[in-house]
Structure 1
Amino acid sequence: MSNDSWLDQIKWNSDGLVAAIAQDHRSGRVLMMAWMNREALSLTVTEQRAIYWSRSRQAIWRKGESSGHTQILHDIALDCDGDALLLQVEQLGDIACHTGRQSCFYRGLQDTQWQAREDVIKDPDTIYGK
């Protein structure tokens, strides 16, 4: 068995990607969902930090490279179908979302409208220097 056979066991989608859910390793809160390609997943395991594939930039994206909000990898699991990953991470800076919130899942459905349930921790313009 080759050293990268574990990567061959993943059911990559037609774009060569797999969904990756980042969850806070202490609280269990889901922080975000992003995509990984084979290289991003391999780098994540090697560097022990979350590294994703940016579909908009078509490039490797080291979480926190511009914001400083890095995700330190504590554990990684593959679901039963082999088509989704769950990353247990330590979210540095307590902000995972580009909107300046702890989680990307900050909106809830209320009376057929998406309502923000979480305040902004830090203004995104301050984070990204816009």
Structure 2
Amino acid sequence: MEETLTQAVPTSGFIDQVSWNSDGLVPAIAQDFKSGRVLMMAWMNRESLALTASEGYAVYWSRSRKGLWRKGESSGFLQKIREIRLDCDGDTVLLMVEQEGGIACHTGRSSCFYNLLQDGEWRVSQPVLQDPKAIYK
């Protein structure tokens, strides 16, 4: 699994094979390519998927900002693409990434999935690695 993204990106075809939702988006899951740990989920549109494939770094669609969002553009914690996969239904993208700096979450944690259900309550299961105020200035 230590492969890098080396093949040429098709100029057409792969984008059309994605089952986009009614908003023209598809969920994208970022997973650490070495450990297999799920880091985050975000949305992609056609342009962000094409840019991700061509640039080799994760580019998402921000629904709140209504624009492209290059992961790590303000924090410096980029996601280098190692593989891009599409699930069997064509409606979810899986990005196998190398998470630069070890922080994927805007809360300063290594993963956005830090809340763990225990005894009927959500409990924080990961420490903050860096104060978000220091990351986002």
**Bin of the TM-score, shorter chain as denominator length:** over 0.9
CA distance in 1 between partners of 2:55 and 2:75 (Å): 18
Residue 3 of structure 1 deviates from its aligned partner by 3.0
Q: Distance in 1 between matches of 2:114 and 2:29?
A: 15
**Which residue identity does 1:123 align to in structure 2?**
D
- SS of the counterpart of 2:93? strand
1:58 aligns with 2:66: yes
One-letter code of the match for 2:44?
A: M
Q: Which runs of 5+ in 2 are unaligned?
A: 1-9
Provide the C-alpha distance between the structure 1 equivalents of 2:123 and 2:84, rounded to a whole number of angstroms: 31
Distance of 1:7 and 1:42 partners within structure 2: 7
TM-score by length of 1: 0.96
Q: Which of 15, 23, 26 is matched with 1:18 structurally?
A: 26
Alignment partner of 1:83 out of 81, 91, 101: 91
User: Share of identical aligned residues, percent?
Assistant: 62
1:3 maps to 2:11: yes
CA distance in 1, matches of 2:118, 2:33: 29
- For residues 120 and 102 of structure 1, the distance between their equivalents in structure 2, rounded to whole angstroms, comes to 8
AA at the equivalent of 1:73: I
TM-score, with structure 2 as normaliser: 0.91
Q: Specify the SS of the correspondent of 1:26.
A: coil
One of 33, 36, 41 as aligned partner of 2:41: 33
Cα RMSD of the aligned pairs, angstroms, is: 0.9
State the SS of the aligned residue for 2:61.
strand
Match of 1:93 in 2: 101
Q: Distance in 2 between matches of 1:45 and 1:28?
A: 20
Match of 1:122 in 2: 130
Q: Which residue of 2 aligns with 1:70?
A: 78
- Runs of 4+ off more than 6 Å: none
